[in-house]
Amino acid sequence: MALGYDGRIFRHHIPPVIRLSHKRLKKQWNEKWLHKSDRNPSFMLTTDPKEKRMITLYTWTTPNGRKVPIMLEELGWPYEVRTVNLGKDEQHAPDFLKISPNNKIPAIIDPDAEGGPLSLFESGAILTYLAEKSGRLLAPSGADRYRTLEWLHWQIGSLGPMLGQLGYFARRAQEKTPAAIARFTEEGERLLDVMERRLAESPYLGGEEYSIADIASYPWTVAATTFLKEALAHGLEGKPALHRWLQAVGERPAVQKGMQVPQV
Ligand SMILES: N[C@@H](CCC(=O)N[C@@H](CS)C(=O)NCC(=O)O)C(=O)O
């Protein structure tokens, strides 16, 4: 499908040349994604759509926000970053809601997906999609595939939410709620123990190979040693396998680059 479109959502100030040559495409995108009342300038088309068919990544400077840039850096695919400033509540902009109905980053739009442009939210779905599209970082079948998906889902359903809640109650909330802090500290510690046991028996979370399960867990493990260090009782203390894994993953150039995205 000759989309010739770079994934940016557009509505206002569309250059005439684009308006003419991409009329049909614009109509298709507007119908699918745009909200009439939205005036968010960060969603405007600003580059020549014929030049680029790259993935647009909507993200912010948080652990969940770093997973997808790490993946895209591993793949070496060009991508365009759109910041969604959570501090300014941009995750609630109506246009962003069309892409990410749960009002959370990360999200992507792939203009070059099979069957037409595809928007995706939820980091686990995005990582799985990119792994399947590229044929990398997730085994195509068999036990290795499901072991990787198991640990990917563990991160999405457990490590991320528990450490995220700990961050909220222990660091960000004005009012401190001891029971909530105790609960999420305990759960955070327990999950780091689970991770330590897994990594003591296996080089990577999914098995012998580095995979999307490691990409998903890395930014949260870094958070456990930085932003959440004080909140956790023990954190990575006495966890040699976790230290070994953190270092191995952290040495990857794609991880180092992805952890710097977005630049704000
Ligand atoms: N399960 C989701 C979690 C995404 C998530 O919690 N994102 C946070 C940033 S780390 C967010 O967008 N928070 C904005 C808000 O809660 O309003 C995923 O893995 O993509």
pLDDT tens for each residue of 76-109: 999 999 999 999 999 999 999 999 999 999 999 9
Q: Who has greater pLDDT, 44 or 1?
A: 44
Q: What is the pLDDT of residue 53?
A: 83
Q: Do domains 17-134 and 142-252 have the same CATH topology?
A: no
Query: What ligand 1 atom has the least distance to the C-alpha of 64?
Result: 10
> Is 90 exceeded by the pLDDT of residue 167?
yes
Q: Who has greater pLDDT, 206 or 30?
A: 206
Q: Selecting from 3.40.30.10, 2.60.34.10, 3.30.110.40, 1.10.150.110, what CATH number does the domain 17-134 have? A: 3.40.30.10
Q: What is the pLDDT of residue 52?
A: 59
Parse the chain into domains and list their residue ranges: 17-134, 142-252
Q: What is the pLDDT of residue 145?
A: 98
CATH class of the domain at 142-252: mainly alpha
Ligand 1 binding pocket includes 62 (Cβ within 6 Å): yes
Q: What is the mean pLDDT of residues 158-163?
A: 98
Ligand 1 binding pocket includes 163 (Cβ within 6 Å): no
- What residue's CA is closest to ligand 1, atom 19? 123
Beta strands in the chain, from DSSP E residues, in sequence order: 55-59, 79-83, 107-110, 118-121
- What residue's CA is closest to ligand 1, atom 16? 104
Q: What is the mean pLDDT of residues 254-260?
A: 98
Q: Tell me the CA–centroid distance for residue 2 and ligand 1, in Å.
A: 33
Q: What gap in Å lies between CA 163 and CA 189, rounded to an integer? A: 9
